[in-house]
Amino acid sequence: YAADAQRTDLMTITRFVLNEQSKHPESRGDFTILLSHIVLGCKFVCSAVNKAGLANLIGLAGETNVQGEEQKKLDVLSNEVFVKALVSSGRTCILVSEEDEEATFVEPSKRGRYCVVFDPLDGSSNIDCGVSIGTIFGIYSVKDGGEPTLDDVLQPGKNMVAAGYCMYGSSCTLVISTGSGVNGFTLDPSLGEFILTHPDIEIPKKGKIYSVNEGNAKNWDGPTAKYVEKCKFPIDGSSSKSLRYIGSMVADVHRTLLYGGIFLYPADKKSPNGKLRVLYEVFPMSFLMEQAGGQAFTGKQRALDMVPKKIHERSPIFLGSYDDVDEIKALYAAEENK
Ligand code: P6P
């Protein structure tokens, strides 16, 4: 944008998505309406997170979620806001939330053709210390016009029609892909609008950062251990990678997307499927990485090819710069061929 146009030619997320949708003459605006309700949820959570310390929302709600973790009030609030916003959009039929053990089937009178899988407030254990946290979401179209069933959300990640996250940090940044590239929008609180600030995000082909919880090193399998060793003690004379690990997936993935490098949550002896959830953590972040020119691998296969059997299933994940993920794929392939 020319400098003067920037002040007047505001590319809001709604306008951007309308432009995108106009490339699909068959679209009836349903997706744009759905997205506007997701954006409303993000704006609400952004405001609540920013006020959390003041509004004494910090602290335990006393219940526990499917992870067995204690639910903080912001978790509960964020989940309710998103569920209500998505149902009231009239464009959804099944919702899967990290906070709800069972899927939500929208009542027939309010049903639409989209299924939304989401983590309303990922990284919430970091709320009290002010570390960036986020909402992660993925969107499927229902498989067919019949009665919605869990099969409509137990689809491979490659079937997603859109995915994204909203990071609540020093600024509120929403990063989304509808299948033709990745774009980032920053909330302008004075306008209450998300403005395009990161057009066409492409992840560097190779990065200088690796991101993993080294505290789990004693439980890693061979290929992961070998890969991390190579990051720290490169044998080809290249410089070692820097370790950056925030422990909040949205923050770690956002940095990886913008700066390059690799994010790993591997399997380990204690958790053979790793920790991160397939539907609303692994798939959306893998979708974004591939759309930005990167890769996402589970240790066995391309992450987006997985077909989940349960809505809260976990998977190991290695995602980020194309060449960095290739290196760990080669180590797993070598292990396979032993
Ligand atoms: P660990 C946060 O609880 C989370 O679900 C992700 O946001 C984050 O990447 C991961 O868990 C951190 O897990 O075991 O390293 O603390």
Average pLDDT, the chain: 91
In this prediction, residue 1 has a pLDDT band, given cuts at 50, 70 and 90, of very low
Confidence (pLDDT) at 219: 94
Give the closest residue to 98 by CA, choosing from 61, 128, 124: 124
Lowest mean pLDDT: which of 144-148, 165-169, 219-223?
A: 144-148
**211, 252 contact by CB (below 8 A):** yes
Give dist(CA 75, CA 125) in Å, integer. Answer: 10
- Written as six digits, the tokens of 265 are 């949550």
Confidence (pLDDT) at 4: 47
Q: Whose CA is nearest to atom 2 of ligand 1?
A: 123
Distance in Å, CA 276 to ligand 1 centroid: 7
Ligand 1: which of 122, 167, 250, 318 to mutate, judged by most atoms within 8 Å of the beta carbon?
122
Distance in Å, CA 213 to ligand 1 centroid: 9
Give the closest residue to 213 by CA, choosing from 159, 294, 271: 271
Which residues is 122 bridged to in the sheet? 134
Is the pLDDT score of 174 beyond 60? Answer: yes
* E strand residue ranges, the chain: 60-64, 70-72, 92-97, 104-105, 111-122, 133-141, 162-168, 172-177, 183-188, 193-198, 209-211, 242-243, 262-265, 295-297, 317-320
For residues 26-34, average pLDDT: 85
Q: Whose CA is nearest to atom 10 of ligand 1?
A: 247
Confidence (pLDDT) at 338: 84
Summarised one tens digit per residue, pLDDT across range 269-324 is 889 999 999 999 999 999 999 999 999 999 999 999 999 999 999 999 999 999 99
How many Cα atoms occupy the beta-carbon half-sphere of 107 within 13 Å?
4
Ligand 1: which of 75, 78, 275, 312 to mutate, judged by most atoms within 8 Å of the beta carbon?
275
Residue with tokens 């952004």, as numbered in its chain: 46
Lowest mean pLDDT: which of 5-19, 144-158, 232-246, 317-331?
A: 5-19
Confidence (pLDDT) at 73: 81
Is the pLDDT score of 7 beyond 70? Answer: no
Q: What residue ranges line ligand 1, CB within 6 angstroms? A: 122-123, 125, 213, 247-249, 252, 275
Give dist(CA 290, CA 178) in Å, integer. Answer: 12
The 3-state DSSP class for residue 151 equals helix
Give dist(CA 59, CA 53) in Å, integer. Answer: 10
Confidence (pLDDT) at 57: 54
Summarised one tens digit per residue, pLDDT across range 235-277 is 888 999 999 999 999 999 999 999 999 999 999 888 999 999 9
Q: Which runs of consecutive H residues, i.e. helices, occur in the chain?
A: 3-8, 13-22, 30-51, 73-88, 222-232, 249-259, 283-291, 322-336
Confidence (pLDDT) at 72: 55
Ligand 1: which of 72, 210, 249, 279 to mutate, judged by most atoms within 8 Å of the beta carbon?
249
Q: Whose CA is nearest to atom 12 of ligand 1?
A: 247
Atom of ligand 1 nearest to the CA of 69: 3
Give dist(CA 273, CA 250) in Å, integer. Answer: 20
Give dist(CA 159, CA 114) in Å, integer. Answer: 12
Give dist(CA 83, CA 79) in Å, integer. Answer: 6
Summarised one tens digit per residue, pLDDT across range 55-82 is 555 555 555 666 666 655 888 889 999 9
For the sheet with 295-297, list strands across it: 242-243, 209-211, 262-265, 317-320, 295-297
Q: Is the ipTM of this complex over 0.85?
A: yes
Confidence (pLDDT) at 69: 62
> What's this model's pTM, rounded to 2 decimal places?
0.93
Give dist(CA 248, CA 121) in Å, integer. Answer: 10
Confidence (pLDDT) at 79: 96
Atom of ligand 1 nearest to the CA of 122: 7
Lowest mean pLDDT: which of 18-32, 183-197, 256-270?
A: 18-32
Q: Which percentage of the chain shows pLDDT scores above 90? A: 76
Distance in Å, CA 192 to ligand 1 centroid: 30
